[in-house]
Amino acid sequence: MSSKSSLAFRGAFIVDKMKKKEFLEMEKQVKENLGFIHQTFSEHLSAINENTSEIQTLFDYLCELDLKIEKISQRIDKIQFTEDPAKNQLKISPLTHTEKKIFLTLYTEEVPLNYIEISQKSGVPLSIVGEYLTALSQKGIPFVRSFSNNQTFIRLDPRFKEIQAKENLINLSLQSFMNPE
């Protein structure tokens, strides 16, 4: 019994030693694989950070371009209005009901409004306020744009507002609001 148990113990010891060797080998492979995964993730993180930086730089550049475009648009509006007031009176096309609502909102305000405020005060959905402001501008309505805190603020040109008050170029009669187009 003693030789049998000694033999069994030696056999178990040899098997344990082989398993330990296999275990150590497997542990080494796992560590190598985890190291490779860590390196790959680090490279991906580096690429993402570089792309994020690049995207931020492009966004800043686009904001700067947008600001310059808006300033040019302001200057063009100013030049068109100061060109010849008599010509500007003829250039104003008839407005739709929704355009009149936005015009009236701007006409009755003394301070510049952003798109959200125009939407709220006129009852026109925010998603289309920009389109209607563009349409009003194309129909000859002069705006003064200003920028603050990454927002565009719009108001009617004060000289045009004065002419509108005297001559009612836009036909802001109660009847025009009672019978919308």
**Domain ranges, ordered by start, for the chain:** 1-72, 84-178
Distance in angstroms (rounded) separating the CA atoms of residues 130 and 102: 10
pLDDT at 80 over 80: no
- Band of pLDDT at residue 92, cut at 50, 70 and 90: confident
β partners of residue 144: 155
Q: What is the pLDDT of residue 5?
A: 60
109-166 pLDDT, tens per residue? 989 999 999 999 999 999 999 999 999 988 888 888 888 888 889 999 888 888 877 7
Distance in angstroms (rounded) separating the CA atoms of residues 43 and 166: 68
The reply to whether the predicted model has a pTM over 0.85 is no
Q: Return the beta strands (E) in the chain as ranges.
A: 143-148, 151-156
Q: What is the pLDDT of residue 18?
A: 67
Q: In CATH, what number does 84-178 get?
A: 1.10.10.10
118-128 pLDDT, tens per residue? 999 999 999 99
Question: If 0-12 CB within 10 Å is exposed, 13-18 middle and 19+ buried, where does residue 124 land?
Answer: buried
Contact 160, 149 (CB under 8 A): no
- Band of pLDDT at residue 174, cut at 50, 70 and 90: low
Q: What is the pLDDT of residue 90?
A: 46
Task: Calculate the dihedral angle through the C-alpha atoms of 128, 133, 138, 141, rounding to the nearest 10 degrees.
Answer: 150
